[in-house]
Amino acid sequence: MSLCAFTSWGSQRQPRRASATKAARKVVGGPRRHGVPQRGFTLIEVLAAIMLLGIAFTALLGVAGASTALTQNAADRSAAALWARSMLDGGFVTAPPPVGHSSGRFDDKFSWQLDVSPWADSAARNATGSMQLYQLDLEVAWGSTGRRHSTHFRTLQLVQGPRGMTEGGSP
C-alpha cells in the first residue's frame, strides 16, 4: 500500500512557472536578463572595426612621419640661416671682403661658397666717396649627395677704404 501511495503522490502535478530558458527561446536576441535582450557584436563587425582602426593608425603614423621630416627640414634651414648671418654680419668687420670666390665648411654638416664682387653702381660710388659697396653671394649647403639642400643669401656690404685716401687713391 505504501507503494501505491508513493506512486499516487509522485504522479500529482503542480502548476509550473515558465522557466527562463523558455522565455529566452522566444526572444530572437538571445537569453534575457531582467527583461532586456542581450546585445553584442558579430565577428564580422569586430573584424571590420579592427580593420578601420588599423587604417586610421597607419594614416596617423604617416602624418607623424611627415611632420618629423618637416620639423627637421625647418631646423636645418634655421641653422643654415644662422651660419650665414654669422658669416655675413661679422666676417668682414675689420677688413674688406676678398673679391672672388671662396668656400669652406662651418661644421661637419654645413658647407659654404662665397662670391664677392664690387657692386657696379656709379651713382652709389660717387655718393659714398672713399666707401665701396660689395655684393656678397653666399650659398650654404647641407645633406647627403642624393638629398642635397641649399639656400642662397645675397647682401651688400659698405666698406670704407684706407683712411686719408680719396677717390683717386691719392692722399
**Do residues 80 and 140 lie in contact, with contact meaning Cβ atoms separated by under 8 Å?**
yes
Above pLDDT 70, what percent of the chain?
Answer: 66
- Give pLDDT tens digits for 96-105: 778 899 999 9
All three cell numbers of 33, joined, read 536578463
Closest CA to 111 of 79, 134, 69, 89: 79
- Tell me, what's the pLDDT at 122? 45
Q: Is 82 helix (H, G, I), strand (E, B) or coil?
A: helix
All three cell numbers of 34, joined, read 531582467
The yes-or-no verdict on residue 1 having pLDDT over 80 is no
Calculate mean pLDDT across residues 24-48: 71
- Give pLDDT tens digits for 39-87: 888 999 999 999 999 999 999 999 998 999 899 999 999 999 999 998 8
- Give pLDDT tens digits for 103-115: 999 988 999 999 9
Q: Helices then strands (H, E): number in the chain?
A: 4, 6
